[in-house]
């Protein structure tokens, strides 16, 4: 995750592209511009519906949003998580980078061989107590016939990217000046408590990292591909942060870690991808519209209709799958295995 610090300083995307800031009216501290409608507030206060998290709002596991309805709507339903290789891999990946980020480097001048040894040593120490999680990951990989991922390959690319992280730390120490972003400016896992009746966002809300001195908020994501909903999470966190702290957040960062092999024919060594983007009026509007649609969905007396056959890709991994099947959802036999 130190790659975020290095690339921000190297590129400074905020210089020369700041006109959008003056156009932002949908700030978290301007209630009249972002507030929930009275109907939704009333149903929240009467506990007919439950408050939505940013994940509830932006998640697209079920295209119809039946999962959000059963989780937070009038017909709340007992569910059970269905573990997948991707979800378990994501948890391991996030913890790896959280633990790596605060690690210090001792010198400005360190050879590549020394960097490799330092990263390898860190990886060994990290993976040693994670044995049960790795065994579970390998079991899920075996059950999915390697369709989802390759556990050994994943740990290898994590170690490789760890080497790159340490190298970038050293390079940044050599190149930095007093006005640069520094790792000490990055706040990890901050709990935000926005006003529910204004933002519609449940408390606490927890972005993966915030850099308030540079108006940045960020999230670590992992998976097979970068999803277009990822930047919307940063928009939600920005609105929540502004609402509580009255501080402008203008830039979002997604630190995306590819966890799935792209081909069964080869195993490429890949590295985390960093996406910087302005949290402008358009992105905020998209998030707030998605928020209002989600609240409208869970406010209905009945859940949305079932997905079409073309939209059932995620059904086998949805924690409400059994409930939907009991109500008539028909899945292919191979997906019920």
Tens digits of residue pLDDT in 296-321: 999 999 999 987 877 888 888 888 98
- Look at residue 67 and tell me whether its pLDDT is greater than 80: yes
Q: How confident is the model at residue 330 (pLDDT cuts 50, 70, 90)?
A: confident
Nearest residue to 194 (alpha-carbon basis) of 242, 230, 252, 234: 242
Region of poorest pLDDT, from 38-42, 132-136, 264-268, 286-290: 264-268
Whole-angstrom distance, CA of residue 107 vs CA of residue 99: 20
Residue 276: give the domain boundaries: 2-336
Contact 297, 319 (CB under 8 A): no
pLDDT in tens, 166-195: 999 888 888 878 778 888 889 998 999 999
Greater confidence (250 vs 103) lies with 250
Which whole-number Å values give the CA distances from 320 to 172, 222, 335, in the listed order?
47, 23, 14
**Residue 228 CB-density burial (10 A; 0-12 exposed, 13-18 middle, 19+ buried):** exposed
284, HSE (Cβ side, Cα atoms, 13 Å): 25
Q: So what's the pLDDT on residue 146?
A: 57
Q: What is the tally of structural domains in the chain?
A: 1
The pair of structure tokens assigned to 320 is 């409400």
DSSP structure string for 245-286: H-----EEEEEEEE-S-S-SS-------EEEEEE--HHHHHH
């Amino acid at each position: 995750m130190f790659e975020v610090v290095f690339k921000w300083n190297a590129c400074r995307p905020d210089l020369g592209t700041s006109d959008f800031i003056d156009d932002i009216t949908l700030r978290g501290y301007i209630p009249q511009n972002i507030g929930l409608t009275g109907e939704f507030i009333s149903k929240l206060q009467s506990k007919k519906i439950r408050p939505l998290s940013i994940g509830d709002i932006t998640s697209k596991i079920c295209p119809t949003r039946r999962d959000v309805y059963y989780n937070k709507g009038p017909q709340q339903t007992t569910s059970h998580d269905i573990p997948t290789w991707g979800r378990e891999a994501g948890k391991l990946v996030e913890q790896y980078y959280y633990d790596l980020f605060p690690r210090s480097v001792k010198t400005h001048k360190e050879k590549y061989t020394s960097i490799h040894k330092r990263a390898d040593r860190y990886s060994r120490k990290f993976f040693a107590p994670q044995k049960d999680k790795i065994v579970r990951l390998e079991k899920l990989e075996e059950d999915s016939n390697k369709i989802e991922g390759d556990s050994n390959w994943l740990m290898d690319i994590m170690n490789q990217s760890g080497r790159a992280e340490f190298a970038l730390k050293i390079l940044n120490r050599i190149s930095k000046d007093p006005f640069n972003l520094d790792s000490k400016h990055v706040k990890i896992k901050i709990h935000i408590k926005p006003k529910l009746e204004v933002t519609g966002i449940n408390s606490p809300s927890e972005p993966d990292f915030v850099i308030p001195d540079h108006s940045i908020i960020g999230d670590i994501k992992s998976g097979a591909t970068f999803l277009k909903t990822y930047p919307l999470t940063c928009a939600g966190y920005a609105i929540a942060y502004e609402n509580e702290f009255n501080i402008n957040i203008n830039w979002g960062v997604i630190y995306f870690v590819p966890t799935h092999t792209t081909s069964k024919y080869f195993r490429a060594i890949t590295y985390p991808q960093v996406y910087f983007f302005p949290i402008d009026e358009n992105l905020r509007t998209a998030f707030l519209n998605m928020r209002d649609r989600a609240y409208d969905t869970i406010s209905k007396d009945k859940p949305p209709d079932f997905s079409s056959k073309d939209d059932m890709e995620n059904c086998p991994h949805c924690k409400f799958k059994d409930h939907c099947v009991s109500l008539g959802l028909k899945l292919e036999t191979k997906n019920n295995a």
